[in-house]
Structure 1
């Protein structure tokens, strides 16, 4: 979701530049990026050699997405800077926060502090920290989302250099989407989820081939995505939340000499759900080899426009003096995907 069509910025950062960085009442960050470490601290770190999902382009770091689990001042503040080695696990850390909240309520400790200090304290101890905690969900809900049992670490071949990333993908994707649902319910406006680069089915030393690689990747996606869609529908959020599933490119129509597929910019799949758009249809056609569009192409600017029209009236941005002209022009440069 970062390219020249987004001014080299995370789309959520563009949204935050228009809507603001935090919810005006709760303080919830309006732009969040979730990597595997948000739900599994032992996962591999964010990959940045091919670009950064949390890039802000020329917007400045004030509009960067909040990245839970990545460390840094904001993360430390939201966790009250309590050293993790004082606790056996994350559950005890959350219990400590709950006890601190109760003691503050009883003692009146915050009386006399100014409004902004009070707001900051409420932000830390309020429902915002809870929204990032998937363990507050019922066991049945966690089980519905959980992708870890589907493809176990033991079943992933050790011959691939990216084995740890395959493991992280399956261990975390379901919980990442569960956290995403919790965040949008709590008022977050834009959530980016990635499990790092695992869809490269090149059949080289790093990546499995098509058949094996799809087993490592698609099983978790099918399970977690269906859980998210069903959950949003059940909660009445289907028209309020737009789910976008895409990669950075497609794959070559021809199998390579090793039995895998390589990068291909001519055509790529795109899945959309919700947001008040017309669902239940297939838009566009490809050539027989799935290499090029044979109908009117859907471009990245069309996708950006679709996302932004879901969030606000993109056509009115030029009339808002607080929105820079170049941002307004970028977000309204194309039409939403035709047919939606």
Structure 2
């Protein structure tokens, strides 16, 4: 059997095994079997006209599970009272007037290539990773759910070339389910992420099964899948034909597999990003894997449009400063290496990077020397994408608890990412939810962040 997904024991939010993502010979209602791959002709992922893998627009999103402490990263309040101030001092950056935490000297050195946003607002007071992944809150969800930004890009732009999916997730399944990514939402399963993590990575290429043998199975399995579709009233299988075409291309091409083989990078480059144990999750979040940032760069170079990474665990209700001393230097090294790598390889104008969490942390340090949930303001870090970097957007009050100027919403960040991808949402095809209602990926009143254009 050919499987494609993560570790066997990992479960999705709906209880499905990640290894049920693609299976040859598995026809269970819960999984996406490779039987589905055989119902259409091999028309895997047609390239967009006039685009090449070196020139396509892309996004790398780094989601920090749990909400990082903005007051201890990009917005240190040296004049705040002791119960707010914290242990860290600010350091100067290579942009006059911008200072950040002393634990992030590499970012300070390349601040001209970065944009810290100090005033992300509108978060829900819950560990809702979908805010970062979709740009939407859950107070009025579309029927079928809001799609992941990668799913939207898959629907609107498709793949850059055969054998390379438009949307790849390097996210780990986390113990705390709200940290996990949403699927294709009302765009259907066909636009969900391609997930090549864990053991399934070895199954990205056909092993003892050639294209003709795959083709021989089409007639038998198509009828089974057609029956299954007829009984699917949820519309969750919408777009699956698109998925199967792309998956067929992946299985018959080595390009994606080669991109995922990080050992092809020289040791100097790998060491530049840093290392940590990818098998050990931090808290109830994701493992701390700086090498996944390098892997994301390789996938972008191979032609992927959107790559997502969930990174470590930031819900520091206790031991905030101890945790920061262990976390921030590694994060600083990896993010800086990625941004510099993109510039050195000529990818920075076309590849946008965003690193953020679902909310901020309380100004007041609690009795456990931690910071609790704080949805009123949080932070983000942007880079690349042809944006005007070397600036800070937004200012918080004296305690770092409220925006004093230029609040920025999740939707504004997403509007900026869509713009950087070359997607004009005003003229894009209309998208409909499971009830047939037209939906906007970003509200028409929301515009890209003007300071970055």
Distance 2:324 2:417 in 1: 27
Deviation at 1:46, TM superposition (A): 3.1
Structure 2, gaps ≥5 residues long? 1-128, 137-144, 217-243
**Partners of 1:81 and 1:8 in 2: how far apart?**
37
**Match of 1:14?**
152
What aligned pairs does 1:139-218 form with structure 2 within 5 A after superposition? 139-148=267-276, 162=282, 168-169=287-288, 172=289, 174-196=290-312, 198-203=313-318, 209-218=319-328
Which of the residues 332, 337, 340 maps onto 2:449? 337
What is the alpha-carbon distance in structure 1 between the residues aligned to residue 205 and residue 174 of structure 2?
20
How far does residue 241 in structure 1 lie from its aligned partner after superposition? 0.4
The superposition leaves residues 143-174 of structure 1 with CA deviations (integer Å, 9 ceiling, x where unpaired) of 1112339xxx9xxxxxxx955868x31xx2x2
* Range 57-66 or range 283-292, more displaced: 57-66
Q: Is the 8 A contact 1:16 1:30 kept in 2?
A: yes
Query: 1:46 maps to which residue?
Result: 174
Q: Which has the higher contact order (CA 8 A, sep 6+)?
A: 2
2:139 maps to none
Tell me which residue corresponds to 2:94.
none
Deviations 1:299-340 (A, max 9, x none): 11111101111112324434x36x548444636441111311
| Bigger Cα displacement from structure 2, 8-17 vs 58-67 | 8-17
Deviation string 1:234-271 (CA, Å, 9 cap, x unpaired) is: 00111010000111100001111211001111111111
Stretch moving more, 298-307 or 56-65: 56-65
Which residue, 235, 241, 254 being the options, matches 2:345?
Answer: 235
User: After superposition, where does 1:29-178 map in structure 2 within 5 Å?
Assistant: 29-35=165-171, 45-69=173-197, 78-80=204-206, 120=248, 123-148=251-276, 162=282, 168-169=287-288, 172=289, 174-178=290-294
Aligned to 1:96: none
Flag the structure with higher helix content.
1
Looking at structure 1, the residues matched to 250 and 150 of structure 2 have their Cα atoms a distance apart, in angstroms, of 25
1:289 alignment partner, SS class: coil
Quote how far apart the aligned CAs of 1:121 are. Answer: 6.3
DSSP 3-state at the match of 2:382 = strand
Which segments of 5 or more consecutive residues in structure 1 lack a partner in the other structure? Answer: 37-44, 83-99, 154-160, 204-208
More strand by share: 2
Q: How many residues align?
A: 281
**For 2:446 and 2:301, how far apart are their aligned partners in 1?**
29
The 8 Å contact of residues 33 and 54 in structure 1, kept in 2 or not, is answered as no
Q: Give the drift of 1:232.
A: 0.5
Preserved contact between residue 245 and residue 271 of structure 1 (Cα < 8 Å):
yes
TM-score, with structure 2 as normaliser: 0.55
**Residue range with higher mean Cα deviation, 323-332 or 63-72:** 323-332
